[in-house]
């Protein structure tokens, strides 16, 4: 029988005897050997919680199960697999669907009868209850610390040492950032001015995000906050804001601003926000569009209001490089969404122009995919051999055939071999993920005009992983409503 070994350790359990990766691996290998099972592969999620199934090795194991690569899943304890009753039910149904058995090396479970299923569900419910109870206790303790004026930990904001001591020269810069903002400058403008004057943030450039965080952060006014910030920005002394699940408390550290100054700043921020324009628009290429000059992500924004003779208000969607927006460190011009659309359709047309070339590339990709898959299978077999060699060294050590230093040296060699082999698997899997489905481009071009905004966004996000755009100009000047010269620099597919 082919067995899949699943191992999971969370950050706080890695040091516990019996729950470490090697501790679980040794016991599970021995158990599989006692059952005369062949180990197909070992799946290790290092540092992941069992609150859900969103774990890389869990996903890989379930995919291999669908491909019928093993017959039984072996774990050290049930809670290594999951601590959620809902996930447990889903997993058991999936195991049945693919005729895969489940076994815990330290617990007795029988899942073929109603009583057996009830028992394993009961154990799963206890694990979920334990996780929820621990979470509640931790949350309560942290909330109580904030209410009592004690900071619950985490990274201290700019301007303070690890001991929560205010740094005078940094406090001066923080106050200057606030004053510049209150003078009418926006976040980006404040960042650009500070950077140009050489007033950096511990050697790093200010960005629009760090300026906004500095201005809004109540810690600089002596206020501790746990949870999301309130939309209104009102400070509630040592009370819970149930609407946004926030806890506030009075800190014992030296503040940069007074409470009054902080409230003035928040009121000013609120006025600017309410005076803005908040119409929702769909940006078709957000998430995949990248700057061809610096590689940063490009995100969508709207132009200022523009009133026509008819009195109608027009809003135009643009894309801007995030580095340009944050601190003006990139000079790629902004692109209208219709311009990006035009460039993408041009790219698709070029691909479709030579169908013979398309067919040839498709054949080459199929061959490359087969080669990569073969290399991945070969590497997985090597991992199995590494596991077998580890067991051999352990046996020799127990029998006195190798010294303690000798087995330590051998284990380090096997660890290095395993790391190199897993890296080869990851590289080949990454190469496979980049093989484009060029035939889908034709479908996109044909369907594009019939799709609504959300369907276009979904189609682009499904098909493309990355679209890089570039241009040879920095400050384009041209006829109104015409496109300046630009091109698609690189395209990666999902």
Least confident among 59-68, 118-127, 336-345, 427-436: 427-436
Residue 357 is inside which H or E element, if any?
A: helix 355-398
More confident residue, 338 or 430: 338
What percentage of the chain reaches a pLDDT higher than 90? 18
Residue-wise pLDDT tens digits, 321-333: 988 887 888 999 9
Topology of domain 168-274, per CATH?
Hect, E3 ligase catalytic domain fold (3.90.1750)
- In the three-class reduction of DSSP (H, G, I as helix; E, B as strand; rest coil), residue 253 is classed as coil
How far apart (Å, rounded) are the C-alpha atoms in residues 78 and 240? Answer: 37
Question: Tell me: the pLDDT tens digits for 7-50?
Answer: 988 765 444 444 678 888 888 999 999 899 999 999 999 888 77
b/e string for 326-353 if b means 16 or more Cβ within 10 A? bbbebebeebbbebbbebbeebbeebee
User: How far is it, in rounded angstroms, from Cα 411 to Cα 414?
Assistant: 5
Q: Which of 3-7, 180-184, 256-260, 301-305 has the lowest mean pLDDT?
A: 301-305
Contact 32, 3 (CB under 8 A): yes
CB 459 within 8 A of CB 282: no
- Specify the pLDDT at position 465: 82
Q: What is the largest CA-CA distance in the chain?
A: 94
Query: How many residues are there in the chain?
Result: 494
Instruction: Note the pLDDT of residue 264.
Output: 84
β partners of residue 241: 246
Please indicate whether residue 101 or residue 432 has the higher confidence score (pLDDT): 101
> Domain residues of the chain, as ranges?
2-134, 168-274, 277-365+431-494, 366-430
Residue among 14, 8, 98 nearest 55 (CA): 8
Instruction: Tell me if residue 10 is catalytic.
Output: yes
The band of 343, judged by pLDDT with boundaries at 50, 70 and 90, is very high
Dihedral Cα 442, 447, 449, 450, nearest 10 deg: 180
Given the residues 10, 329, 417, 431, the one annotated as active site: 10
Task: Enumerate the H helices of 16-66 as residue ranges.
Answer: 21-34, 56-66
Do 100 and 71 touch, CB atoms closer than 8 A? yes
Report which DSSP code applies to 211.
Answer: H
Are the C-beta atoms of residues 465 and 434 closer than 8 Å to each other? yes
Beta bridge partners of 8: 45
Q: Both tokens of residue 381? A: 């077999």
Residue 15, judged by CB atoms within 10 A of its CB (0-12, 13-18, 19+), counts as exposed
For residue 107, the SS3 value is coil
Q: Which residues of 139-157 are buried (b: 16+ CB within 10 A; e: fewer)?
A: eeeebebbbeeebeeeeee
Whether 418 shows a pLDDT value over 70: the answer reads yes
Mean pLDDT over 144-166 rounds to 72
Query: What 3-state DSSP class applies to 307?
Result: strand
Q: Decide if pLDDT at 158 tops 60.
A: yes
The 10s digit of each residue's pLDDT in 198-216 is: 999 988 899 888 888 888 8
CA 452 to chain CA mean position, Å: 28
pTM beyond 0.85? no
pLDDT tens-place string over residues 275-319: 443 444 578 888 789 999 999 888 888 776 655 555 666 778 889
- How buried is 439 (Cβ within 10 angstroms: 0-12 exposed, 13-18 middle, 19+ buried)? exposed
Contact 8, 80 (CB under 8 A): yes
Residue 269's pLDDT is 80
When pLDDT is cut at 50, 70 and 90, the band that residue 230 belongs to is very low
> What's the rounded Cα separation, in Å, for the pair 160 and 255?
10
Q: What does the mean pLDDT of the chain come to?
A: 76
Please, which residues have CB within 8 angstroms of residue 140's CB and are 6 or more apart in sequence? Answer: none
The DSSP secondary structure of 147-204, one letter per residue, reads: HTT----SPPPTTB-TT--B-HHHHHHHHHHHHHHHTT--HHHHHHHHHHTT--BTTB
Q: Which of 165, 182, 183, 262 is nearest to 223 (CA)?
A: 262
What number is the average pLDDT over the span 178-205?
86
Q: Which of helix, strand or coil describes residue 299? A: strand
What's the distance, Cα to Cα, between the start and end of the chain in Å? Answer: 35
- CA gap 260, 250 in Å, rounded: 14
Q: Report the CATH number of the 2-134 domain.
A: 3.40.50.1390
Closest CA to 190 of 159, 168, 170, 214: 214
> CA 158 to CA 170: how far, in whole Å?
8
């Amino acid at each position: 029988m082919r067995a899949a070994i699943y191992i999971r350790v969370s950050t706080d359990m890695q040091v516990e005897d019996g729950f470490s990766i090697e501790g679980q691996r040794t016991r599970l290998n021995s158990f599989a050997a006692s059952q005369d099972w062949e180990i197909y592969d070992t799946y290790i999620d290092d540092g992941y919680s069992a609150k859900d199934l969103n774990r890389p090795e869990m996903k890989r194991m379930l995919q291999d199960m669908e491909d019928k690569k093993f017959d039984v899943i072996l774990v050290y304890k049930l809670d290594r697999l999951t601590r959620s009753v809902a996930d447990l039910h889903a997993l058991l149904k999936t195991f049945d669907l693919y005729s895969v058995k489940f076994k815990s090396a330290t617990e007795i479970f029988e899942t073929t009868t109603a009583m057996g299923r009830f028992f394993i569900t009961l154990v799963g419910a206890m694990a979920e209850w334990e996780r929820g109870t621990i979470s509640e206790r931790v949350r309560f303790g942290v909330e109580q610390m904030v209410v009592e004026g004690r900071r619950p930990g985490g990274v201290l904001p700019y301007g303070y040492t690890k001991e929560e001591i205010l740094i005078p020269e940094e406090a001066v810069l923080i106050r200057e950032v606030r004053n510049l903002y209150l003078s009418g400058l926006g976040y980006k403008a404040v960042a650009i001015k500070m950077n140009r004057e050489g007033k950096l943030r511990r050697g790093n450039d200010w960005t629009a995000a760090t300026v906004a965080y500095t201005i809004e952060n109540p810690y600089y006014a002596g206020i501790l906050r746990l949870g999301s910030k309130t939309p209104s920005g009102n400070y509630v002394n040592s009370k819970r804001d149930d609407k946004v699940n926030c806890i506030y408390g009075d800190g014992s550290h030296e503040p940069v601003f007074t409470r009054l100054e902080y409230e003035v700043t928040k009121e000013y921020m609120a006025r600017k926000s309410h005076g803005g324009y908040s119409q929702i628009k769909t940006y078709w290429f957000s998430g995949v569009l990248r700057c061809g000059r610096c590689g940063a992500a490009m995100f969508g924004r709207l132009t200022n209001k523009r009133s026509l003779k008819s009195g109608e208000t027009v809003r135009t969607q643009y894309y801007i490089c995030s580095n340009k927006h944050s601190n003006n460190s990139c000079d790629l011009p902004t692109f209208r969404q219709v311009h990006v659309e035009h460039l993408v359709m041009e790219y698709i047309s070029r691909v479709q122009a030579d169908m013979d070339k398309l067919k040839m590339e498709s054949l080459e990709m199929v061959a490359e995919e087969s080669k990569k898959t073969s290399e991945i299978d070969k590497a997985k077999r090597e991992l199995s051999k590494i596991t077998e060699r580890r067991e051999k060294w352990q046996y020799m050590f127990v029998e006195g055939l190798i010294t303690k230093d000798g087995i330590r040296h051998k284990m380090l060699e096997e660890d290095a071999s395993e790391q190199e082999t897993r890296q080869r698997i990851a590289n080949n899997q990454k190469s496979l993920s980049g093989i484009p489905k060029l035939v889908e481009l034709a479908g996109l071009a044909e369907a594009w005009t019939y799709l609504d905004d959300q369907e276009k966004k979904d189609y682009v996000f499904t098909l493309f992983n990355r679209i890089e755009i570039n241009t040879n100009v920095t400050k384009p000047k041209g006829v109104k409503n015409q496109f300046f010269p630009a091109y698609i620099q690189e395209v990666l597919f999902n």
